[in-house]
Structure 1
Amino acid sequence: MDKKLISAATRAMLAGLLCTALLIACRKKDVPAPSVNPGGGVTDTISDAVAEDSLKYLMYQIMQVTYGDGGRTAAGGLPTYYWYSQIPKLNPFDSQYPNADTLLAVMKRYAINSATGRPYDHYSFLDRTGALTNKLMNGVSARALEANNSDFGLEYAPVLSGNNNNGVQLFVLYADKNGPAGRVGVSKGWEITSVNGTTSFTNTYASLRYVYDAIFGSTSSVTLGFRRPDSTLFTATLSPGPYNINPVLFDTVFTVKNQVGASQKVGYFSMYTFASVINDKGQPTNTKTVLDQTFSKFASQGIRNLIVDLRYNGGGSTNTAEYLDSAIAPASAAGKTMYTYKYNDKLMATLNDNKLTTQVNFAAQTSGLLLDHVFFITSRNTASASELTLNNLKPYMSVKLVGDTTYGKPVGFIDFNISAYQKTGAKKYLADLYAINFATHNAKGEGDYYTGIPVDGLAVDYVDVPWGDKRDANLIQVFNYINNGAFKARIAQARVSAAVGGNLHTAIPNAKPLNNFNGMVDYRLSRAVSRIK
């Protein structure tokens, strides 16, 4: 049937069969008692077509009309989409939208950034497996056994090999210590020399896709050959499986000479994701544990400068950004404004009723570190909650950025978990909706960095250089600043190679995006919105 021909009565009936769940489920009073069939199971006859129509309808209602009653009526009042006012009225059942992703893609086109001439929103998406919420909120890896969602706990990048413009080498960017790859020792700078027996790779779609699918798109094991930085070879068969995320990939304390020649301790750690520090049960996660251990080490050694490496960090939970900021900030920031929220006009006008907050403060007591500077290593992959973290600290201390301009995402998500229910009460999970709901600004009102945050010291990311290695151009820049009080011009490969030896490699630009999440989610706001009546 052409969706244009679905009557208003039919749509109203469809809406009556549905309810929107936030995080876990609908309020119990909204769900009728389920009927039980002779086999003992709950009757559930929601077809795929009806489920998709339900998702389109509820997604549109939540974003554009109201969430006050779970998105079930046509009465306006509480649209949640940040740019809702710039979208014309659409019919979510129109046949030009065969699925909810198509409808969402159209909705994202309307709000145009006048500075770039392009849509603001290239962020919003639907998570149809629910794995992302589990990963970000509970700190547990994606459901590795689901189709097209394997997780070996590593990220890699292709580079052009030698003078052959078609030949490609593959290098590991990072590996979670708790993941299948990390447990066998894989780390940044290792070369992947074979994938399931294939040893030759080219800069072609077919070859790059083969590798991507083997590592990220398979539900079975993968056999990878590696060359370590010391040139020794290693082969491992990795099987996907759940693990508690350890976002800290590497940490150490350097001893560096300052401008007057005195030795100083410099803390350094790399972090690839902002999995939440508190899970959906209110309990501390492994992320909190490892961050506490890392900062305890830094405090015990009396570091005077800190390097936070976020070059591959696409963000995650805002509460982790807040926790990290309070651990880094000086005592003078304690209890003061960390950042503020801005919602759409209708939500801003009803703050007393919708339970949303507009301000987050630093902890009443910060960690007590006495830092001269905090240096953030960034890249075009540094996004959202990572950008929030560094932006929050700028009003209170010396913040220096090294590497490359950040991604540019000063806006974030409230997680809407959407499910459909029959009159029997049978539930069918549809998707988690991540559509832009708010913008953030630091205590000085600084934000809106849609084209990214520029760095103070330019440096190239050499993907075959291990964590903490002296050939890392980013570290060269930081140490030069501590030594001399200034950054050098962009650290070029020829200069680094000549100084320390070795043939350094950079990733092929735009060969493929990082496979991790890109954004920031405020689960505190998700809980607040769930209480809207």
Structure 2
Amino acid sequence: MKQDFLRKGIPMIVVSLLCSSIFFSCKKDAQDDGNNNNNGGGGNTTAKTDEDSLKYLMYRLMQVTYADGGRNADAGLPTYYWYGQVPALDPFSSTYSTAENLLSTMMTFPEENGTRLDRYSFLDRTGSLANKLQNGVIEKTSGTTGSFGLEVTYALDQDNNTHLMVLYTDKNSPAGQQGVQRGWEITAINGDDNVAYDGESGANTTKVTNAVYSSASTTFTFKKTDNTTATLTLDAGSYNVNPILFDTVYNVGGKQVGYFAFYTFSSITNSDGGATATKQLLDQLFGKFKSAGIRELIVDLRYNTGGAVSTAQYLCNAIAPSSAQGKIMYYYTYNDKLTQNLAATGLPASISFGTTGGLQLDHVFFVTGNQTASASELTLNNLKPYMSVKLVGNTTYGKPVGFFSYTISTYDAAGTEKYLADLYAINFETKNAQQVGGYYTGIDPDETANDYVNIPWGNSSDENLSKIFSYIQTGNFRQAATEQRMASNPALRLNQPLSIPSGQFNGMVDYRK
């Protein structure tokens, strides 16, 4: 659909929106004749640069409508969940030098009881996130460096000295392929051993962040858990994501207990609708658990910042009892205008359980922390009405809202597309079958536990696992003597979450066609 609007004395600039992965495929022109109702804002409504185009289309998409190029605010369908709290703004104002500046301003307005609600919306100018989350592929392209597949943190020893530690590595990544393990300490980067923590914006912290997450090649000196050292050069590259960091089956007090650590909700279906490697891996994992006859399940989401809701739905179906089949899994809440037009948009009001996985579980335990966000929180919240769900660790991040993905592009007179950015602005909120949601400050654990980074995955001395094993055997989490013994161990390194900005996406995305 193409509409041409000319205003005398103003050059025609073709600005189009490609709506991908939501509702329907469409290409919308956003040229303006100067008479649009721009939600009450905007005087100069003709884009002059690609950045103007991006600001304009982002604003109209969020605040006016996705369906008709933003030409009719009254009859339109704004996509932003909190569009009603954002006042009229002029996207072409010199106040906003970039689209990110405009978006940041818009995000300041949604609040509840004085608390800012939108900590989440963002623009991705590389398009790499969609490839990673939906297709499960980290790809090195001309516009991106790829990734080492390495997550790091600072941790404290008994004397409160900081140590730069490896949280985890993806098995398929350059770091994983070179054998880098959770709990290794990084003692030097590119030969520089000045890597101690010096504050969120300190020179050392910035240096480390750039070297780990933004560099094409970095040489690391590691101190391994056996106190030997290794110097490895990692080259950022492309790889297929393996979201399962570790899995095993324990025998605890005569009961079979399944355990897996899961670091991202990469989608189970790709952009073509086919099964991804993530689905194949999860199928194999739950097949193993079912064959082992597990009666308890531990899902370690302590570093899982979210991803695709399709994978959350998969996990809920795989874990839930047969009695949940066909019942409500969770409800969606949209803004008022989308809610009034659900039939036209094709958006669901709710999602129900499908065929469940056949496990007969007494409990499911989730290991959580303040990086446990969004799709992770959705998964555990969905299961609470139907089975015994226990959380061990620390309070989750707090993100009961999610995104649809929109690709914003411009088109020249010949119809050639120029990609500008993918927009992730909050579009919906979720609540479980009992209408429980709204956990903007996080979900508290049933039992707190420390995260000692240099205890290997699956080791029974991990404080989270130790407490869960105690509960399985006795019905009681508490092990005071064990906690005291671990706290007095000078070799342990206590994780300081978010001491370094994570390289992982934080959120949940519904890649609904």
**TM-score for the superposition, normalised by structure 2:** 0.90
- Secondary structure at the residue paired with 2:118? coil
Distance 1:192 1:145, change over 3 A: farther
1:377 and 2:367 correspond: yes
Question: In the TM superposition, what are the counterparts of 1:292-371 in structure 2 within 5 Å?
Answer: 292-363=283-354, 365-371=355-361
In structure 2, distance between residues paired with 1:417 and 1:468? 40
Matched position secondary structure for 2:49: helix
TM-aligned CA distance change 1:29 to 1:292, over 3 Å: closer
Matched, 1:197 2:191: yes
Percentage of pairs with the same residue: 52
Q: Give how far 1:311 is off.
A: 0.3
Matches within 5 A, 1:145-294: 146-147=143-144, 149-160=145-156, 163=159, 168-204=162-198, 205-218=202-215, 220-257=216-253, 263-294=254-285
- Aligned CA RMSD, in angstroms, stands at 2.3
SS at match of 1:79: coil
Distance 1:473 1:162 in 2: 17
Q: Which amino acid aligns with 2:231?
A: T
Cross-structure match for 1:519: 507
Pairing 1:87-98 to 2, within 5 Å after superposition: 87-98=86-97
TM-superposed CA distance for 1:318, in Å, is: 0.2
Q: Which residue of 2 aligns with 1:86?
A: 85
* Matched AA of 1:178: N
Find 1:448's aligned residue among 420, 438, 463.
438
Letter in 1 for 2:49: V
Return the offset for 1:496. 2.1
Q: Which amino acid aligns with 1:415?
A: S
Superposition map of 1:389-428 within 5 A: 389-428=379-418
For residues 168 and 62 of structure 2, the distance between their equivalents in structure 1, rounded to whole angstroms, comes to 36
| 1:132 equivalent in alignment to 2:120 | no
Residue identity matched to 2:299: V
Which residue among 444, 449, 453 is the counterpart of 1:459? 449
How do residues 458-477 of structure 1 correspond to structure 2 at under 5 angstroms? 458-477=448-467
User: Which consecutive residues of structure 2, in runs of 5 or more, have no partner in the other structure?
Assistant: 1-5, 30-46
Whether contact under 8 Å (2:338, 2:345) holds in the other structure is yes
Aligned residue for 2:43?
none
Alignment of 1:58 with 2:57, yes or no, is yes
Deviation at 1:161, TM superposition (A): 5.1
CA contact (8 A) 1:66 1:75 kept: no
| CA shift for structure 1 position 413 | 0.2
Kindly provide the CA deviation profile for residues 413-463 of structure 1, in whole angstroms up to 9, marking residues without a partner as x: 010110011222121111000000000111111111111011101101111
- Residues 370 and 497, structure 2, Cα contact 8 Å, conserved in 1: no
Contact 1:381 1:407 in 2 (8 A): yes
Deviation at 1:490, TM superposition (A): 7.8
Q: Report the residue type matching 1:223 in the other structure.
A: T
Paired positions, count: 487
CA distance in 2, matches of 1:70, 1:196: 50
Q: 1:28 to 1:266 in 2, by over 3 A?
A: closer
Q: Which runs of 5+ in 1 are unaligned?
A: 1-7, 32-47, 258-262, 528-533
Work out the CA distance in 2 between the residues paired with 1:255 and 1:227.
Answer: 32
Q: Cα deviations across residues 452-493 of structure 1 (Å, max 9, x unaligned)?
A: 011101101111111011221101110111111122278985
Change (3 A) 1:290 1:309: same
Give the Cα–Cα distance (whole angstroms) in 2 for the partners of residues 269 and 491 of structure 1: 26
Work out the CA distance in 2 between the residues paired with 1:318 and 1:288. Answer: 13
Which residue identity does 1:68 align to in structure 2?
A: A
Is the deviation greater in 19-28 or in 180-189? 19-28
CA contact (8 A) 2:64 2:78 kept: yes
The letter of the residue matching 1:157 is T
Query: What is the letter of the counterpart of residue 518 of structure 1?
Result: N
CA gap 1:189/1:144 in 2 versus in 1, 3 angstroms: farther
User: Whole-Å Cα distance in 2 between the matches of residues 392 and 356 of structure 1?
Assistant: 19
Structure 1 partner of 2:16: 19
Q: Which residue of 2 aligns with 1:123?
A: 120
1:395: Cα distance to partner? Answer: 0.7
Partner of 1:5 in structure 2? none
Please give the TM-score of this superposition, normalised by the length of structure 1. 0.87
CA distance in 1, matches of 2:10, 2:483: 63
The CA distance in 2 between the partners of 1:368 and 1:312, in whole Å, is 27
Amino acid at match of 1:190: W
